Every structure is written in C-alpha cells, then in structure tokens.
Structure 1
Amino acid sequence: METVPGDQVADFRRFNRCYTRRIGVLDDRYLGQDRPLGEARLLFEIAERDGPDGVSLRELRSRLGLDAGYLSRMTKTLERQGMVRLDVHPGDNRLRTVRLTPAGRVEVTEQNRRADSLAAGVLGGLDAEQRARLTGALATAGRLLRLAAITVERVDGHAPDARACLDAYAGDLDVRFPEGFDRTDLVRPEEVSGDAGAFFVAYEEGRPVGCGALRRQAAGIGEIRHVWVHAGARRLGLARRILDALEAEALRRDWTVVRLDTHAALTEARALYRACGYTEIPAYADHVYADHWFEKRLAG
C-alpha cells in the first residue's frame, strides 16, 4: 500500500471530527430520538432492504461491517422495544431474518424527517452556488470512499466467484456486441491459475463487483483478458485498479510486456487503455471479437 502523507491524514481526521460533531454522532440521542446512532442506522438499513421475507442478519453484518455478537445484541434490544421482529428464513432455516414492525416503520419515518431537516439546515447556510459545490464534492468523496473500500484479490481460476464474474461479463457482452458473444471464448480456469496465469476478483462488502484475467501469451509477455466491472460499481475508477493488479502480477512473473485486445463496440475500454499508457499495435493474434490491439511495456 502506498504511504499516505501525514498532512492528508490530518485533513481527513479533521473533517471527520467536524462532521461527526455537526450531525450528532457523539450524542446518545441521535437526531433527538431516544436512540444512539448505531441502533438508528440499523433500523434505517432494515427499512432500506426489507422484503417479503425480511432481511438476513448475515446481509446486515456484511453491509455494516459489524461484529456478529454486537449486531445480535442491538437486534435483540430493538426486538424488546417492539421495533423489529426476528424470524427464520422460510427457504433456509440456517438464516435469521429481521423486519420492521409497524412501530419500527413509524420511527424510521420520523428519523428520515429529522435527518432531512438537519441536512437542509446545514445546506441552508450556503448560497446556491456553494451548495452545488458542496454536494458535488460530497458525491466525489462518496465515489472515492467506495473505491477505497473495494479490495482486488487473486483467486483460483476455478473459484466460484471467478466463474460468476465471467458469466456476468459474458452476459454484458452478449447484449453489447451486434453479433452476440459466444461463452466458449472465455478463458479456461487452467489458463489463469498457477504458473499459467492469474485471475483477480474485486470485492465490495464481500460481493464480487469486477474481475480481470492474465495469462502467458509468449516468452516475457502476458495477455490481459476479460476486464469487467459490475454496472453498479462503474465510474469509480475500479477498472484502473484491476488493471494495476494485473500489471503488478505480470511484473512479479517477469513478464515485462502486456497485451490485450478489444471490440469496436467498447469505446470506453479503448479510452481507458490509452489513458493507462497502452499503445495501439497491429494484430498479434487472430481473435473473432478483436478490432483493436494494445500493448504496454511495464517498468519494474
């Protein structure tokens, strides 16, 4: 991980202190309700994800990054107060689910009203141009914080997450390519495992949201395949993160050149590769879906 300058760390912490004080995170009565922030946030997340069968505690634990014991204690407190009801998932008796009671829905409605009022009060101290700058900056901060929390991990080419990502990738291309996409073109697990290559999966809150493959193309040359990002995780800069991981893996294997190809329909992919230092070259292989070929020489 890159070393972060101390002044940037200090700026980040200073903003956190200012923001948490302003919205009342330190108060045991968040938004003036008789409830601390942790319980209020849990009620909000249950309301956001409540379905016909409720929401599983496993999903909430992953979403909020909470210890299982702490989440269980909070949920039982809310149950005693009549805010939520705990059940067993009808399709899987190993899963515990939770959903709001009518009283819980009333409290969340009031919570949202007070939160909206607080936000309007903060923004009301600024003029229209300043509000636009602030909300734009917050949107950028949100995207970067999401990206910072995503991990890119090497997995075996046979791993279920690897195959699931490739299935989603193939589905996207089948829609975008005028001629459709034949799944037999996907890399085989043995091509991207062990000495032959590598496969990387990007995870957000435990869910696969992107992938990329690297395989040996020739002596000292690696080929990048199937760089893909889930639609819900695009415009974060994740594709660059995946490319960085693939390039670093190539260097680790002493592959000092990487190549890739792309379809004419994928204009955003070509823009990304050029921005990341790839140069368009003549065709290096006969590939039915390739219209453009790229190469990059890696610096150790």
Structure 2
Amino acid sequence: MVQVQRTDADAPDAHMLLAEYFEDRTIGFAAQDQVYTPVFPARATFTPPAGAFVVLRDDEGQARGCGGIRRIADGERGVRYEVKHLYLRPDTRGRGWGRLMLEDLERRAREWDARELVLDTHHSLEAAAGLYRTSGFVETERFNENPNATRWYSKALD
C-alpha cells in the first residue's frame, strides 16, 4: 500500500529525493538555456508547525516522491502555507501519487488553521500545472522572488 509519511527534510531518503529533483530541474532548465538555482531547505523550515515534509513510499516501502509545506507571511485570507519541492520519480508519474501527496500536505496545513495554500512553479512543468489546477489551485499574482518560478498559484481553504 502506498503511504505518505512525515519525515525530516534532511533525512537520508528525503535528501536523496530532493537531490534528484534538483538535478532534474537543472537538466530541464539547461535544455531551455536557463540556469536553475537549487536550495536545500533548512530542517527548521519543515518542522511542525512551521511546516512539514513528507515522503511517499510505494508498496515495497521504497521512497518514490517527496514534498513539503512551509508557513509564510499571512495573506489576505489569513494563515498561509506554501507547497514546496513536490516531486515524484519519473517512473511513478501518472498513478495519482502526486495528488496523494498534495492532499496530505493540504490536510496538514488545515490542521494548523491555514486559510490558503500557495505555490510557484515553472511553465515547463505542464503535468504539475495540470495537477494543481485539478486540485483547486488558480493562477495568482507573484508572491515571492523565486528566480526559478514563472507561474504562481493559490487555493483558498476556507
């Protein structure tokens, strides 16, 4: 059975998945003549209730994906968390596992009274954009200075 489990962002499995994610984005950006700037998150960024980091494990217990939420400055709706580093290994995509992780992260944000989830992404990640749109996210104004992002999304949780 596939499981989403909270972990530390610097745990070995989480770090390995983040390194894969950053390598994937670096290659993707290079193909577009752009530079990707990876930043490994500090452990405290994803320590409850400031945030949470999760790893998705397959039926055999192998780490196959990761993602996190972190609290950022409140918005017009109130308490706001940002989705970060949502990643699935390429051979696992299309199984609904990204949605499982996103739903788990949303549940955690709601437990901490979040009224809004936000995220940023790059226009080249069309499958991710599709997941966000079908999960209730809508495009919004830029809310950060992430040099890797070209699109920003939000989802009201009230």
1:155 is aligned to 2:10: no
CA deviation after TM superposition for structure 1 residue 240, in Å = 0.5
The TM-score, its normalising length taken from structure 1, stands at 0.48
Instruction: Indicate whether 1:260 and 2:119 are aligned.
Output: yes
Structure 1 or 2: more strand by fraction: 2
- The partner residue of 1:232 within 88, 91, 115 is 91
Q: Assess if the C-alpha contact under 8 Å between 2:37 and 2:147 holds in 1.
A: no
Q: Which has the higher contact order (CA 8 A, sep 6+)?
A: 2
Separation in 2, partners of 1:193, 1:157: 9
**Deviation of the 1:194 alpha carbon:** 2.8
Residues in 2 aligned to 1:253 and 1:233: alpha-carbon distance in whole angstroms: 30
**Aligned residue runs from structure 1 range 139-288, under 5 A:** 149-177=1-29, 178=32, 179-184=34-39, 186-204=40-58, 205-219=60-74, 220-288=79-147
Instruction: For 2:36 and 2:86, locate their aligned partners in 1 and report how far apart those are by CA, in whole Å.
Output: 15
* Distance apart, 1:237 and its partner CA: 0.6
Structure 1 stretches of at least 4 aligned residues deviating more than 3 Å after TM superposition: none
In the alignment, the residues of structure 2 paired with residue 190 and residue 207 of structure 1 have an alpha-carbon distance, to the nearest angstrom, of 25
What amino acid maps onto 1:264 in structure 2?
Answer: H
Check whether the contact 2:68–2:86 (CA below 8 A) recurs between aligned residues. yes
* Aligned length, in residue pairs: 150
- Aligned identity (percent) is 33
- What is the letter of the counterpart of residue 137 of structure 2? Y
Please give the alpha-carbon distance, in whole angstroms, between the structure 1 residues aligned to 2:51 and 2:128: 22
Partner secondary structure for residue 49 of structure 2:
helix
Deviations 1:181-232 (A, max 9, x none): 2222x32222111332100000011111001110001230000011100112
Structure-2-length-normalised TM-score: 0.90
Counterpart CA distance in 1 for 2:127 and 2:26 is 17
Q: Greater helix percent: which structure? A: 1
Structure 2 distance, partners of 1:266, 1:211, is 16
Contact 1:173 1:180 in 2 (8 A): no
Gap runs ≥5 in structure 2: none
